[in-house]
């Protein structure tokens, strides 16, 4: 039986709707999971859904309100989504408390980090002082890899991909800054930006800054990440 995997969606306050790029649930299904889109309901009872799920994937989207990591908005802060922020940060904490497998993608890795006390660069170009900053908002197609990410030897992400580095796509202007106590950084771009966080404290807690769901059709290695996540979810079912 396929493990039931909840996937967070983007919340649109203008028409009170949710949206999700199909690549997310297709990647989960292709990896052997049964995707379930998680709705936004302003009710604490919604979090009882966590006990029914075998794992949760946190997806990409808007910037997180810096109030959640003790900062005021930077002039380059992008659009924020207050309802989504509150919902996902609570959901992430609860999922990890119950030791449910968690996979974070782009905004999702940032949600994981902030949920447990970490901080973010609100804008890399303004806040990261380096002369070698990688272009983290690519102009190339989403499936195309534009920069390298190197992995910590022996880390979960290293073992998943079976190599010390991979090329990835890139669509972000924020990134993990101070890593939350429960995580450690295990992947970096050449400019030192954290691209992967993970934890040995939980059954499966891994976040990546790139978008593997946009790449897996053309780059089959990217499916390995989803397969590893789904296998961890099966073990919880």
What residues act catalytically? 106, 211, 213
Contact 176, 120 (CB under 8 A): yes
Which candidate, 37, 52, 39, 42, places its Cα nearest to that of 6? Answer: 37
Rounded Cα–Cα distance for residues 225 and 233 (Å): 13
Q: Computed from CA positions of residues 21, 22, 28, 30, in that sequence, does the dihedral angle turn out positive or negative?
A: negative
């Amino acid at each position: 039986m396929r493990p039931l995997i909840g996937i967070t969606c983007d919340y649109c306050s203008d028409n009170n709707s949710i949206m999700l790029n199909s690549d997310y649930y297709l990647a989960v299904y292709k990896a052997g999971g049964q995707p379930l889109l998680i709705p936004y309901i302003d009710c604490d009872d919604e979090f009882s859904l966590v006990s029914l799920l075998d794992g949760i994937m946190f997806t990409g989207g808007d910037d997180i309100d810096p109030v959640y990591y003790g900062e005021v908005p930077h002039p380059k802060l992008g659009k924020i989504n207050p309802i989504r922020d509150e919902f996902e940060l609570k959901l992430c904490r609860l999922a990890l408390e119950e030791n449910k497998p968690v996979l974070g993608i782009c905004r999702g890795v940032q949600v994981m980090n902030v949920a447990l006390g970490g901080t973010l660069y609100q804008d890399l170009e303004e806040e990261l002082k380096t002369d070698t900053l990688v272009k983290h908002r690519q102009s190339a197609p989403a499936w195309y890899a534009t920069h390298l990410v190197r992995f910590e030897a022996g880390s979960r992400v290293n073992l998943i991909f079976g190599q010390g580095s991979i090329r990835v796509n890139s669509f972000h202007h924020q990134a993990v800054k101070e890593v939350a106590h429960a995580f450690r950084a295990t992947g970096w771009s050449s400019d030192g930006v954290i691209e992967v966080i993970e934890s040995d404290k939980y059954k499966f807690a891994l976040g990546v800054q790139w978008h593997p769901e946009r790449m897996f059709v053309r780059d089959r290695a990217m499916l390995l990440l989803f397969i590893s996540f789904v296998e961890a979810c099966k073990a919880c079912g």
